[in-house]
Structure formats: C-alpha cells, structure tokens
Amino acid sequence: AQSVTQLDSHVSVSEGTPVLLRCNYSSSYSPSLFWYVQHPNKGLQLLLKYTSAATLVKGINGFEAEFKKSETSFHLTKPSAHMSDAAEYFCVVSGGGNKLVFGAGTILRVKS
Amino acid sequence: DAGVTQSPTHLIKTRGQQVTLRCSPKSGHDTVSWYQQALGQGPQFIFQYYEEEERQRGNFPDRFSGHQFPNYSSELNVNALLLGDSALYLCASSLVNTGTGYTDTQYFGPGTRLTVL
C-alpha cells in the first residue's frame, strides 16, 4: 500500500524568502511521486513529478523537489517565494497501480 | 488545446436524490479517473475508467457508479445522496502507457462542487 504524510498543515513565509514543504512517503513499489498545487476554488495543477530518473526534479514556477530513498522523503522547495505562490500544495504517490494517493495538504501563506 | 472540462461547476441537491457529473478528458487522453475532495482534505480516489470499463476502484460504496463513452468522456453517478457526499468532485484524465500498462501523469479539471442539503 502507498501513503503520504505531509509534515506541516500550514507554512507561512515572507515574500522573497525560501519555501520548504515537507513530504514523507511509503510505498511497496518503486514509486512515482508528484506535487500538485490547488489555488482557492480551482482544480489541481501539476507542479512536478518524479519517475525514477534524476533524483532532483525541476518543476514549474521555480519549484523543485529532491527524491531521497534512504529518508523516504520528497520535499518541495523554492528559493524565493512570491505572493502568487499562496495556495494549498499536495504531495502525491502512485505505485503499483493507477490511482493517486494524496497527502492531507499544506497551506502555504506568503506575507508581504 | 482544451484541457479537462467538467460540468456543472456547482450543484445543489437534497438527501436521497441522485446526481450525474460529467467530464471531458484532455485531447489525446483515453483514461478518466474520479476523485472526491471533502472540505479541508486531500482528494480520495473513487474509480478509474479505461476502454469503457471500470479499471480500478477505491473504497467507495456502490452508490457511486460511473460510465465511460466511446469518445472517452465520462460520467459519475451518485445515488441516494447523503449529507456526507458534499464535496468537490475532481476528474482527471491521462494516457495509458502501453509499455507498462499503467497510466501516465493525470491532469485535473476544475471540479464540480456538490452540496447536499
């Protein structure tokens, strides 16, 4: 079975400072991992995905994530937060099947 | 290139009623998955349709059923609505990787907000 734990339900940063959203996963298979973002009253947008190629994955809008098998982690980072980054972020695992298993989400607040 | 579209955007029903939600996949995609997102939670997998058949199902009761049409569009039906069915229903489309048999990246629509009174 697959599962995802997002370690922070809320993260608050100042504009221009780094962003770190933490995610640990559990999977019986070699996993595919994703980060999706959801702006208020909107659907989910894919930020980036890991599928057993390079462990450092670059996504859209300056986000990136590093797959660390030894730590079963897939943390999302961005060097400098922008006001438009304020949203809810979901870490997602898919392995051994076709369904996506979502974490509970992390709400990112960006202060001006 | 149109992305995933869903209709309607909002829906209000009363307990015991039945509802049908619709989804058109992204151009070129052949697989549709449905997810339920309750308020304050992450989406939960309901089921996935491929080649007009239910391919995989999550932990949802039989009140939740679906259909996929030859043009790959899909419907989600929920019977005997309960208050707890109030949620955002998300449709995602993808393409089956013929090498692995699994679906590739799933792309989501904007969702249908269902309120059950």
Whether A90 and chain B come into contact, CB under 8 Å, resolves to yes
Please enumerate in sequence order all residues whose Cβ is within 8 A of that of B84, keeping only pairs 6 or more positions apart, or say none.
Answer: B116
Which of A78, A110, A76, A72 shows the shortest CA–CA distance to A90? A76
Q: Which of B22, B50, B42 is nearest to A100 (CA)?
A: B42
Q: What is the pLDDT of residues B4-39, one digit of tens each?
A: 999 999 999 999 999 999 999 999 999 999 999 999
Q: Do A98 and B109 touch (CB under 8 A)?
A: no
The CA distances from residue B107 to A81, B2, B26, in Å, are: 25, 12, 8
Encode pLDDT of A46-79 as tens digits: 999 998 778 899 999 999 999 999 999 999 999 9
CB contact under 8 A, B108 and A103: no
